[in-house]
Amino acid sequence: MRSWLLRLGGRVILIDTCVGAHKERPNWPDWHRRDGASWLAALSNEGLGPEDVDIVMCTHLHADHVGWNTQLIDGRWVPTFPNARYVCARTEYLSWTKIAAEGGDKHGAIADSVLPVIEAGKMDLVDDGWELARGLELQSSPGHSQGHMSVHANHGCGATFAGDVIHSPVQLAFPELSSAFCSDPDQARTTRKQLLDDIAGTDRLLIPAHFPNPGYINLERTGAGFKPR
């Protein structure tokens, strides 16, 4: 899982915030009560502290994408990035607050990583087509979750930060495969095929959240699927 850091128009933008620190995730040992030091160190290595981040974009609200939205201070979850506006799809937020109210948030991420941001008045709930910054547009890409959004950068050759529209390189060759974590596998399949088809054969980069290094690729079509080029 990756966070992506953009510097654009004088702004510092984070796309997704990984697993976080000290979060109670007993069903996922690799996520459970992590100290998170390496993530903050990676930010520091870029010459940045949490106070330097201007925008935090949540492609969706799964626990491995929102963890560093908050940190534990004096026993309370507070926003990690004190000067940032957090951005999330309105549909995603409403979907997950309903799920959480019905006891369906298995990881507790809404309670510890989303609601504290809402309560601090730092979350902007937005809709399809929202411009995050000049040339950086949010596009609805549902299926993995109800309100999942991709981030489309229209600078240079372009890039699409695809979140979890595609999890694994295997899905390039077999785009019909959806992960077990997709809330609507059929919609996820449709969204994925459309996104890959739009990018294939162009110079636009595909930048998913979970791909191995370097984490981004160009695409070409091959038979019924796709492959890096």
Q: Position 5: which residue type?
A: L
Residues 143 and 77 in one domain: no
With bands split at pLDDT 50, 70 and 90, how would you rate the model's confidence at 108?
confident
With bands split at pLDDT 50, 70 and 90, how would you rate the model's confidence at 6?
very high
The predicted structure's pLDDT at residue 142: 98
Contacts (Cβ under 8 Å, ≥6 apart) of 162: 141, 150, 195, 206, 207, 208, 209
Residues 32 and 109 in one domain: yes
Q: Give the pair of three-digit tokens for residue 156.
A: 């240079």
Buried b (16+ CB within 10 A) or exposed e, 138-171: bebbbbbbbbbbbbbbeeeeebbbbbbbbbeeeb
| pLDDT for 28 beyond 80 | no
Residue where a domain terminates, one of 126, 144, 177: 126
With bands split at pLDDT 50, 70 and 90, how would you rate the model's confidence at 120?
very high
Residue 68 phi/psi, 5-degree rounding, is -85, 10
Structural domains of the chain, count: 2
The predicted structure's pLDDT at residue 11: 96
| pLDDT for 105 beyond 80 | no
Residue where a domain terminates, one of 126, 152, 168: 126
How confident is the model over 12-39, as a mean pLDDT? 90
Determine the 3-state secondary structure of 173 from DSSP. helix
Residues 100 and 146 in one domain: no
With bands split at pLDDT 50, 70 and 90, how would you rate the model's confidence at 36?
confident
| pLDDT for 106 beyond 90 | no
Residues 102 and 35 in one domain: yes
Q: What is the pLDDT of residues 156-195, one digit of tens each?
A: 999 999 999 999 999 999 999 999 999 999 999 999 999 9
With bands split at pLDDT 50, 70 and 90, how would you rate the model's confidence at 86?
very high
Enter the pTM of the model: 0.94
Residues 75 and 156 in one domain: no
Residues 111 and 158 in one domain: no
Residues 75 and 175 in one domain: no
Q: How far, CA to CA in Å, does 119 sit from each of 21, 40, 112, 131, 198?
A: 20, 24, 11, 24, 38
Residue where a domain terminates, one of 66, 91, 126: 126
**Tokens 């796309």 appear where?**
15
CATH code for the domain of 47: 3.60.15.10
The predicted structure's pLDDT at residue 29: 83
Q: By residue range, what is the domain housing residue 101?
A: 4-126
Q: Could you give the residue ranges of the DSSP H alpha helices within the chain? A: 37-45, 63-66, 90-101, 109, 115-119, 170-173, 185-199
Q: Cβ distance 87 to 55 under 8 Å? A: yes
Residues 157 and 205 in one domain: yes
d(CA 54, CA 169): 31
With bands split at pLDDT 50, 70 and 90, how would you rate the model's confidence at 107?
confident
Residues 135 and 117 in one domain: no
Residues 43 and 25 in one domain: yes
Q: Cβ distance 133 to 8 under 8 Å? A: yes
The predicted structure's pLDDT at residue 7: 96
The predicted structure's pLDDT at residue 27: 84
Q: What angle do CA 221, 139, 141 make, to 5 degrees?
A: 65
Contacts (Cβ under 8 Å, ≥6 apart) of 28: 63, 107
Residues 53 and 89 in one domain: yes
